[in-house]
Chain A
Amino acid sequence: MIEFLQFSAEQLPELLKGVPVTLSLWIIAIVLGFFLGLALAWARVYGNRFWYALSTAYIELFRGTPMLVQMFFIYLGLPQLGIVFDAFTSAVIAITLNSAAYQAEYFRGSVLSVPQGQLVAARACGMTQWQAIRYVVLPQALRRVLPQWSNEAIIELKFTSIAYTIGVVEITARASDIGSRTLEFFQIFLLAGVIYLVLTSSVASFLGWVERRYYVPGVTHV
């Protein structure tokens, strides 16, 4: 135990350098995934047959295949077509595309759970379809979706570690490097695990706070 603490104290600064990379990868990807997810959900709920089919196929494809394969496809496969991204960008793209598919399904569920009468009532007071969705349906749907969305965001935070496999120098890659140098693989990955645990717990508490902050009686449960 003491040995582990000593080792941790020595290696922690080096390992922590990976945290900003992990976090920026995560934040960029879930924010982009949020907008893409909204668009996909929109296509599935309000779109015509073409947009519905396209969005459904996209969601099925990205939910049905591993993110690791998606990342390899983008980073190792696309250059063959002359499309070259650096490792970080490839990882952002893969996590964004993957996360969007999941976020879309949660958005769709929550939009559908807003009672139909809300949209009708909004149209009845003269709002356009777009206004009704923007000012009435969406604010309710986003509140309802928050708990599931938080879960999804945390899952993606953990999935950023997959970027290590294509050489993005985030926490896991740093841990692996330190492991190769010191040959203390077990200890360094244990320490990396602790860092991830702190990150995921902090994010969970923060999103829990957001949920309570935007709580509206009757729309959301706390």
Chain B
Amino acid sequence: MNIYDVILRDFPFLLKGLGIAVILLAALLALGFVIGLTICLLQLYGPRTRFVQWPLKAYERVFRGVPIIIMLFIFYYGLAGVFDISSFAAAILALGFRSGAYQSQIFRSAFQSVPAGQMTAARAHGMSLAQAIRWILFPQAIRHAIGPWTNEFSSEIKETSLAYVIGVVELTRQAHYIITSTQGNTLTVFAVVALLYFIVNKAGNSGLYWLEARLAVPGFEKRQ
């Protein structure tokens, strides 16, 4: 059987792996978004006590300083001992918590790039701190954040491949299965897999550029 027939035959498996990778990506980005935004808001507007700020700093340091593979193993073996948890759930948690540490920095600099006068003006007209953040700062910060967030999206789609090491049957592992079962043409299979990642990455980026353009209002045009 020639390699192209094999790929054609096994393509549904690759697509299934790709589907798992995309779901993993969506889940980890969503989790990271919530964690990142919460950390950023606590750092900028939360209590200034060391009791609150120090753990946030430590969280970022740890999740940014340790390789993803190690984090995946720590979550996988750490949680498996306590809960009945699948490798997929462990991957979402490990990658999502980690993404939160990166997204918090993206949001922090986005909020900081909103001029201080915006907050002052909102408060001066009777908005509470929460209202000012919700209606005035957040809509502006999100427009600043979307560019760097696109980079984070690209990193994470590639990093879903590492969930392979704890046995999540995503795209890379499906590729491995196909190779072992056919003892076939590894080169071509991995080239196809690389192409699939490349396409999803490009598609995601285009979507985010489109969103950025749609949200742009005069004064918020894409810089450069």
What chain B residues lie within 8 Å of A162 (beta carbons)?
69, 162
B53 at the interface (CB under 8 A from A): no
CA A67 to CA B67, docked complex, whole Å = 13
- Of A69, A189, A200, the contact of B190 (CB 8 Å cutoff): A69
CA A66 to CA B162, docked complex, whole Å = 9
**Min C-beta distance of B218 to chain A, whole Å:** 26
B208 at the interface (CB under 8 A from A): no
**Min C-beta distance of A115 to chain B, whole Å:** 15
**Min C-beta distance of B92 to chain A, whole Å:** 18
- Pick from A77-85, A133-141, A206-214 the stretch touching chain B: A77-85
In the complex, the answer to whether A76 meets B186 with C-beta atoms within 8 Å is: yes
Contacts A76-B179, A77-B186; is A65 near B158 (CB within 8 Å)?
yes
What chain B residues lie within 8 Å of A77 (beta carbons)?
186-187, 190-191
Contacts A80-B185, A186-B78; is A164 near B69 (CB within 8 Å)?
yes
Chain A interface mostly: helix
What chain B residues lie within 8 Å of A65 (beta carbons)?
158, 194, 197-198, 201
What chain A residues lie within 8 Å of B194 (beta carbons)?
65-66, 69-70, 73
- What total of A-B pairs shows CB separation below 8 Å? 107
In the complex, the answer to whether B67 meets A161 with C-beta atoms within 8 Å is: yes
What chain A residues lie within 8 Å of B165 (beta carbons)?
164-165
- Pick from A31-39, A41-49, A118-126, A191-199 the stretch touching chain B: A191-199
**Min C-beta distance of B95 to chain A, whole Å:** 13
In the complex, the answer to whether B61 meets A197 with C-beta atoms within 8 Å is: yes
Taking residues whose C-beta sits less than 8 angstroms from the other chain, chain B's interface range is: 35 or more
CA A197 to CA B67, docked complex, whole Å = 9
In the complex, the answer to whether B172 meets A68 with C-beta atoms within 8 Å is: yes
- Of B70, B158, B201, the contact of A67 (CB 8 Å cutoff): B158
A110 at the interface (CB under 8 A from B): no
In the complex, the answer to whether A185 meets B77 with C-beta atoms within 8 Å is: yes
- Of B73, B159, B197, the contact of A64 (CB 8 Å cutoff): B197
- Chain B contacts with A in 117-162, Cβ cutoff 8 A: 154, 158-162
What chain A residues lie within 8 Å of B185 (beta carbons)?
80
In the complex, the answer to whether B161 meets A66 with C-beta atoms within 8 Å is: yes
In the complex, the answer to whether B62 meets A73 with C-beta atoms within 8 Å is: no
A58 at the interface (CB under 8 A from B): no
**Min C-beta distance of B2 to chain A, whole Å:** 14
CA A77 to CA B193, docked complex, whole Å = 12
**Min C-beta distance of A114 to chain B, whole Å:** 15
A72 at the interface (CB under 8 A from B): yes
B164 at the interface (CB under 8 A from A): yes
In the complex, the answer to whether B187 meets A81 with C-beta atoms within 8 Å is: yes
B66 at the interface (CB under 8 A from A): yes
Contacts A64-B198, A66-B161, A68-B162; is A192 near B70 (CB within 8 Å)?
yes
CA A69 to CA B171, docked complex, whole Å = 10
A190 at the interface (CB under 8 A from B): yes
**Min C-beta distance of B11 to chain A, whole Å:** 17
**Min C-beta distance of A221 to chain B, whole Å:** 14
**Selected A-B contacts with CB under 8 Å, 6 pairs:** A69-B194, A158-B65, A159-B67, A175-B73, A193-B66, A201-B61
Question: What are the nearest 3 A-B pairs in CB distance?
Answer: A77-B187, A66-B161, A161-B67
Known: A65-B201, A185-B73; 13 extra A-B contacts, CB below 8 A, are A66-B162, A72-B175, A73-B194, A77-B186, A80-B187, A161-B68, A162-B162, A164-B165, A172-B67, A179-B77, A197-B66, A201-B61, A201-B65
Interface residues of B (CB under 8 A from A): 61-62, 64-71, 73-74, 77-78, 81, 154, 158-162, 164-165, 172, 175, 179, 185-187, 190-191, 193-194, 197-198, 201-202
